[in-house]
Structure formats: C-alpha cells, structure tokens
C-alpha cells in the first residue's frame, strides 16, 4: 500500500527526515512514536503533499506509484487521508458545505453519482452518530469555536465520510477525554478492514490499548531507530526514548 524508501526531507535548508524507510501493507495498523520535534508530523505532511517540504532523496510509493510529484488533492482522491494534529479553523466556511464538496469531489473522481443535499444529509447523520456528534456541528463553520476534542472528532467524521484507504492519524488522541478516546477508537476499529491501512502517530500507549497496532516504530531524529510489536509501546512508556539513542 505505502512504501517509503530512504526518505530525506525537510524545509528550506533544514533536513528533518533523514533516511526513513516504511512499508505498510493493506489492512495493517502502524503506530509511530517519538519525541516532540522528532519529525512525526513532517512525515505526515510529506506523505500528504504539503507545500514547503522539500524531498532531497528517496521516494514515496502509494499502490506502486511514486506520488512525490502529486498534488495534495490527487493524493487524497487516490485514497490518502490525514487527520491533522492541528485542524485548521475556517471562518465562514460551513462544515456541511465543505464535507459535501469533498465527498462529491471524490465521487466525481470515481465516476460515481454526486450526492444532493438530501442524500448527503442522510449519510452524514449516520456518520455523526458514529463519533457521537450532534447535527448542530453541521451548521457551524469548519472547526470555528470547536474545542480541542471536538476538532479531533470532526477529523474522524471526515475520515469516515471520505472513506480513505490509508489514513494517517496525527495525534488524534491528544486533547481527547477518556470517553471521547474510546468513541474515536471504536470508530476507527469499526472502520478497519483487510484493505484499509493506518499510520497512527501518538505519544501515549493508552490509545494503542484501544487500537491495537501491528507494528510500532520509534522515530528519533528523522529515522526509525526501532520497530516492533505492540509491546514496544509499553516498553517506551516505561523507559522513555533515551535508551534508544545512539
């Protein structure tokens, strides 16, 4: 599904990712852990095509094709999704309008019939219950005045609506209360299947109790220094990161 080889990337003259390798197969759940500033969000941004990040070496393949020259929307339409660590507030942009435009762009891309207002409302109401949000969020501007946790739920709502094949969840658990964490984890687990893959970035083993990863990677200074099973997350929680530093 996703294959990253010897990726070197950064901003301006600063290299942030320094030779990163990652292979995610269909249906796999990968977790990435690492200190603040180690490059986790940079990795998500580079995969999803944010401007300003420069790839100096290496490649990113998605379903066998190199995507590093692709626009962000092309990547999204091909099935990539990122739940933002810091979802963007968009004053005046109606949440329903935004989500409907995104979904219809996707349907159109796949040659499917676009949804009208009624069809979309029916669909979105089902998705809302999955993340335990009420319909009042639909009338609001995207993320405007949303609490930290509400923003994260809104990200997952978007994921469930757009149905990506590879979802990157960048600290989706940060700022969530325990109930919300459980709701979101349940949503993600229901969404999991043999075809869909995940890259979950987190600081806490707590999330990984609910969403069981197949593989845990430790990112230090722009590289994965260790990868292992879910027990690695427990070990990290106990010991921190310094024992892994060279």
Partner 1 sequence: MNISSFQTEFNKIMGRDYFTNHVKPIRAQAFNNFLEEGLPNKNWEDWRHTDLKPIKEIDFRLSEISDAPAHELDITEFGLDDIHTIVIYNGHYQESMSSIPNGVRLISLSEYGEQKGWRFNEQKDSPFDLLNTAFMDSGFCLSVDKGVQIESPIRILFISSSENKIMVSPRVYIELEESSSVTFVEQHEGNSKEYLLNSSLIMGIKRNSRMCHIRIQNNSGNTFNIGNIHVHQDKESHYSFYQFAYGSKIGRLNLFTNLNGKGAECFLNGLALTCDHQHLDNHIITNHNAPNCTSSQNFKSLLNDSSSGVFNGRTVVSKGAEKTDSNQSNKNILLSKGSLMNSNPQLEIYADDVKCSHGSTTGALDRDAIFYIQSRGIDMTSAKALLVRGFVSEMIESISNKYIKQYVISKFDSWLNENTI
Residues of this chain that bind partner 1 (CB under 8 A): 48-51, 71-73, 75-77, 81-82, 84, 87-88, 90-94, 97-98, 101-102, 105-106, 109, 141, 158, 162
Please state, in angstroms and rounded to a whole number, the distance separating the CA atoms of residues 52 and 166: 22
Query: Binder to ligand ATP among 33, 42, 75, 187 (CB under 6 A)?
Result: 42
Question: CA 177: distance to chain centroid?
Answer: 19
Q: Which two tokens stand for residue 224?
A: 């994965």
Query: Within a 10 A sphere around the Cβ of 154, how many other Cβ atoms?
Result: 22
Task: Give the sheet arrangement for strand 166-170, strand by strand.
Answer: 80-83, 166-170, 197-201, 29-33, 215-220, 223-228
Among the listed ranges 36-44, 76-84, 179-187, 204-212, the one in contact with ligand ATP (CB under 6 A) is: 36-44
Number of residues that bind ligand ATP (CB under 6 A): 13
DSSP string, 4-31: EEEEEEEETTEEEEEEEEEEE-TT-EEE
Q: Which of these segments, 36-44, 103-111, 119-127, 131-139, binds Mg ion (CB under 5 A)?
A: 36-44
Is residue 37 within the footprint of ligand ATP (CB under 6 A)?
yes
CB of 112 to partner 1, least distance (A): 13
Which of partner 1, Mg ion, ligand ATP, none interacts with 37 (beta carbon under 5 to 8 A by kind)? Answer: ligand ATP
CA distances from 146 to 90, 95, 123, 160, 168 (A): 11, 11, 22, 19, 21
Q: Which does 91 bind (CB under 5 to 8 A by kind): partner 1, Mg ion, ligand ATP, none?
A: partner 1
Binding of ligand ATP at residue 16 (CB under 6 A)? Answer: yes
**Category of 52 on φ-ψ map: left (φ > 0), alpha (ψ -120 to 50) or beta:** left
R_g over Cα of the chain: 18
68/78 with CB nearer ligand ATP: 68
Closer residue to ligand ATP in complex, CB, 14/110:
14
Q: How far is the CB of 15 from partner 1 (least distance, A)?
A: 21
Give min distance, CB of 73 to partner 1, in A. Answer: 5
Which residues would be at the binding site for Mg ion (CB under 5 A)? 40-41, 85
């Amino acid at each position: 599904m996703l294959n990253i080889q010897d990726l070197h990337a950064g901003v301006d003259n600063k290299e942030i990712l320094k030779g990163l390798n990652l292979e995610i197969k269909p249906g796999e759940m990968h977790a990435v852990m690492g200190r603040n500033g180690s490059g986790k969000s940079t990795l998500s941004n580079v995969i999803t095509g944010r401007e300003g990040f420069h790839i100096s070496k290496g490649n990113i393949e998605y379903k066998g094709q190199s995507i590093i020259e692709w626009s962000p929307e092309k990547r999204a339409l091909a099935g990539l999704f990122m739940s933002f660590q810091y979802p963007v507030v968009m004053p005046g942009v109606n949440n329903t309008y935004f989500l409907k435009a995104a979904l219809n762009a996707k349907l159109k891309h796949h040659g499917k019939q676009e949804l009208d207002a009624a069809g979309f409302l029916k669909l979105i109401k089902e998705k809302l219950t999955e993340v335990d949000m009420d319909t009042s969020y639909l009338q609001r501007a995207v993320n405007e005045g949303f609490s930290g946790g509400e923003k994260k739920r809104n990200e997952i709502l978007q994921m469930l609506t757009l149905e990506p094949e590879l979802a990157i969840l960048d600290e989706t658990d940060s700022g969530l209360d325990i109930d919300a964490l459980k709701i979101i984890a349940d949503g993600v687990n229901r969404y999991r299947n043999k075809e869909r893959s995940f890259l979950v970035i987190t600081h806490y083993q707590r999330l990984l109790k609910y969403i069981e990863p197949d593989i845990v990677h430790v990112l230090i200074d722009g590289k994965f220094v260790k990868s292992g099973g879910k027990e690695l997350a427990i070990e990290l929680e106990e010991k921190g990161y310094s024992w892994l530093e060279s």
